């Protein structure tokens, strides 16, 4: 199994990395606020931030390593639901962080970053829903063309060229049948 380097430059892949980085920043902001660590809201925000790091990185890794094409089941739908649920959790964190700021700048920044993350999760969910509509949820469907990396395409082209039989003649001459010469137009 090789790496799907083409996936790393797609918009959904970039979104997954940005989502993870934003949530790492959120964890740092909550952790450096000493007055907020005793607040129960901090536990919820940290839980969602950690979950929001794990979910996108999991899907990024299985896409990058092409494992997602080996698994059966409606994985596009599963990924869509996971990203959507995590996005809803992000929205709840916006409300929780905004309601419990207490005038702390780091928690206000946390609420803003959750808002940005929520927007990115929404766009990511939109792309996944569009992909779900195209594939019907199954990425390993043989009736749908699967993405391949450059090396796999080159190997398939070489195999197709080798499997074509070599003709004895360089040019294909038309094959004449006796019925052509029986035509009165040729009998001059």
| Residue 33 within any structural domain of the chain | yes
| Domain membership flag for residue 5 | no
Residue 154 sits at the vertex; the CA angle it makes with 150 and 159, to the nearest 5 degrees, is 150
Is 180 contained in some domain? no
Answer yes or no: is 185 within a domain: no
Specify the length of the chain in residues.
188
Residue 170 lies in a domain: no
Closest to 86 in 3D by CA, of 46, 109, 117, 130: 117
- The answer to whether the predicted template modeling score (pTM) of the entire model surpasses 0.95 is no
- Residue 47 belongs to what domain range? 22-135
Q: What pLDDT tens digit does each residue of the chain (188 aa) get?
A: 678 888 888 888 999 999 999 999 999 998 898 877 778 888 899 999 999 999 999 999 998 998 887 887 788 889 999 999 999 999 999 999 999 888 888 889 999 999 999 999 999 999 889 888 887 766 655 555 555 555 666 667 777 776 655 555 555 555 555 555 555 554 55
Assigned domain for 113 exists: yes
Q: Domain tally for the chain?
A: 1
In a domain, 107, yes or no: yes
Tell me if 101 is assigned to some domain.
yes
């Amino acid at each position: 199994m090789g790496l799907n380097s083409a996936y790393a430059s797609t918009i959904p892949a970039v979104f997954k990395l940005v989502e993870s980085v934003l949530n790492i920043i959120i964890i740092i902001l909550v952790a450096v606020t000493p007055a907020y660590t005793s607040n129960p809201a901090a536990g919820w925000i940290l839980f969602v931030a950690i979950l929001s790091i794990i979910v996108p990185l999991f899907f990024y890794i299985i896409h990058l390593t092409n494992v997602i094409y080996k698994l059966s089941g409606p994985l596009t739908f599963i990924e869509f639901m996971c990203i959507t649920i995590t996005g809803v959790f992000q929205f709840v964190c916006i409300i929780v962080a905004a309601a419990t700021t207490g005038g702390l700048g780091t928690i206000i920044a946390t609420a803003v970053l959750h808002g940005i993350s929520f927007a990115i999760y929404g766009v990511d969910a939109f792309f996944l829903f569009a992909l779900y509509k195209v594939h019907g949820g199954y990425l390993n469907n043989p009736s749908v063309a699967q993405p391949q990396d450059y090396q796999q395409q080159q190997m398939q082209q070489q195999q197709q060229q080798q499997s074509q039989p070599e003709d004895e003649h360089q040019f294909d001459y038309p094959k004449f049948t006796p019925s052509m010469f029986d035509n009165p137009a040729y009998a001059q």
